[in-house]
Amino acid sequence: MSALTGDRVFGRAVRHGGPWVAVLAVAALATAAADLLLPAALGAAVDAALTPGGRPGRWIAAAVALIVVIAAAEIVTGLAAGLSTARATARLRHSLIRHVFALAPGAARRHPAGDLVSRLVGQVPGAAGAGAAVALAGTALVPPLGSLVALTLIDPWLGATFVTGLLVLTLLLRTYVVDTADASTRYQRTQSDIADRLTEALTGARTIAAAATVEPEIQRVLRPLPDLSRHGARTWDAIGRAAAQGVLLAPLMQLAVVAVAGLALSAGRLTPGAVLAALQYVALGAGLGGVVGVLGRIARSRAGCRRTAEILAAPLQQYGGQDLPPGNGRLELRAVTVHHSAGAGHPPVLDHVDLVIPAGATVAVVGPSGAGKSTLAAVCGRLLDPDEGEVLLDGMPLPRVRHDTLRHAIGHAFARPVLVGATVGSALALGPGCPTGPRLRAAARAARVDTVVERLPDGYDTRLADTPLSGGEVQRLGIARSLGAQRLLVLDDATSSLDTVTEYEVGRALIDAADRRTRLVVTHRAATAARADRVAWLDHGRLRGYAEHRALWQEPGYRELFAGADR
């Protein structure tokens, strides 16, 4: 997708409002037109009443009809504004969620979860109000321009007096829009910062409670609050200044028009009804409240669109259009390098790693903390693209492979799997190949979690929200979810929460299985490494050794990796 700007998202939000934006524009225009006709009807009624033999009744009836039209149109305006904004909000949120889930890994890391949630929940609705804001802004010009035309038709000097005030009013409103847009953008950014800090705190709530650092954490989360208050105060200050200037300017405009109209009345150029209409027109045209409200909506919408565009402009993960050639999962890494996310000055996470895993082989990946084991696992399954080098599956570079083909071929299980779905069964069915029925139950048996599921009230149909699971049980469900992969299983410390006996049983089911899939197993346990065909020993991002466990065991540094662990 090409880079999006806030203006393009603004235009998209207007279109997402659909036909309700047009309904809103028509209703608002009807209100403005009736507002402009009402003073003329009232003025004519006054002149008719003061004229012998005049018939003010029909003008009074016309005024009543116009009031009914105004009331009905305002009801439709409110309804259409709400419906257009709701429709655009749904469409923008859908687009944003789809984009977030398809982000390239590097782009995803730049946007923390709290920031994304804040934009999605709090700022997209503001952006979605673009259609209503545009429709109302277009009709907001009708009262001042219509009043100017009406005053000029009544008396050219009244029009000249009024246009002078409008020019001053326009300059004031331009400053208001600029100040409000900047303050709204800064306010939204600070909101996202607080949301991100809160998300981090909630994720680590148990650790915070255990460490008795609740108060310092509260202070950390709320540290941007003064900035939030300052930016909010700027917004209200801009609104207050604009309203105060309008309160001062509107009476001055009315006073000037009254003076000119009084002179015209005394000279016999105007009737009492025309003077009454003129006073109403100047009040209608100089009223700042509606214009300020509409311009404020536009400013907030533009700020929300800019924040939304920042996410929609982030690059997506790109996939090729080719299928994998025939094979059983031969995996090859050629000079794979992944640089540190913090940038220059930090050593690479993976540094020119060359590795060949034969089809059907099981390779354990071991190394000290920070050696790059999880990064290697992510690169092998294309959850992360290397900065240099390439990864091939059965001779095909992973970026050339179609998305659905790749996800059917490779399965992932993690140390902290996240189960997504309404029920236990639907969570398992999200794995490669979307297994159901017998295949789903076979995967649960292989992961030694079938007895856990069968004890649940509704078995595989039990709601996840109502399912109390231990860390080890969640891990086994994560393993079961990955087993539909056709060529490669990537198990990233996926048995770390299992007890020794269960880990041994799951390990036998996975590593010693007779199927021909390739397995890459990140582990800290010597027993798991011993059962693998080969062991890839990582150290500071480099491949320090690649051999059988018993051969590497001769190295003191290798034995130190498992000191105190079960062998």
Q: Judge residue 418's burial from the number of C-beta atoms within 10 Å of its C-beta, 0-12 exposed, 13-18 middle, 19 or more buried.
A: exposed
pLDDT value for 401? 94
pLDDT over 80 at 309, yes or no: yes
What is the pLDDT, as a whole number, of residue 78? 92
Q: What 3-state class would DSSP assign to 366?
A: strand
97-139 per-position pLDDT tens digit: 888 888 887 777 777 777 888 888 888 888 898 999 888 887 8
326-355 average pLDDT score:
87
Average pLDDT over residues 385-392: 93
Quote the pLDDT of residue 273. 85
pLDDT over 90 (residue 535): yes
CA distances, 13 to each of 18, 251, 398, 450 (Å) = 9, 38, 36, 48
Instruction: State the pLDDT at residue 175.
Output: 67
Residue-by-residue DSSP string for 411-433: EEEESS----SSBHHHHHTTSTT
Between 214-218, 288-292, 546-550, the lowest mean confidence (pLDDT) is in 288-292
Amino acid at 485: A
Report pLDDT digits (tens) over 396-418: 999 999 998 998 999 998 888 88
- Locate 140 and state its tokens: 């907001």
User: What tokens appear for 567 in the block?
Assistant: 């062998």
| DSSP type of residue 470 | -
DSSP-assigned states of every residue in 168-192: HHHHHHHHHHHHHHHHHHHHHHHHH
pLDDT at 252 over 90: no
Alpha carbon distance 110, 113 (integer Å) = 10
Q: How confident is the model at residue 202 (pLDDT cuts 50, 70, 90)?
A: confident
Per-residue pLDDT, 151: 84
Q: Which 8-state DSSP code applies to residue 14? A: H
pLDDT tens digits for 503-512?
A: 777 777 676 6
- Mean pLDDT score of the chain, rounded to an integer? 84
Domains of the chain: 6-312 (1.20.1560.10), 331-561 (3.40.50.300)
Question: Tens digit of pLDDT for each residue in 160-193?
Answer: 887 777 777 666 666 666 677 778 778 888 888 8
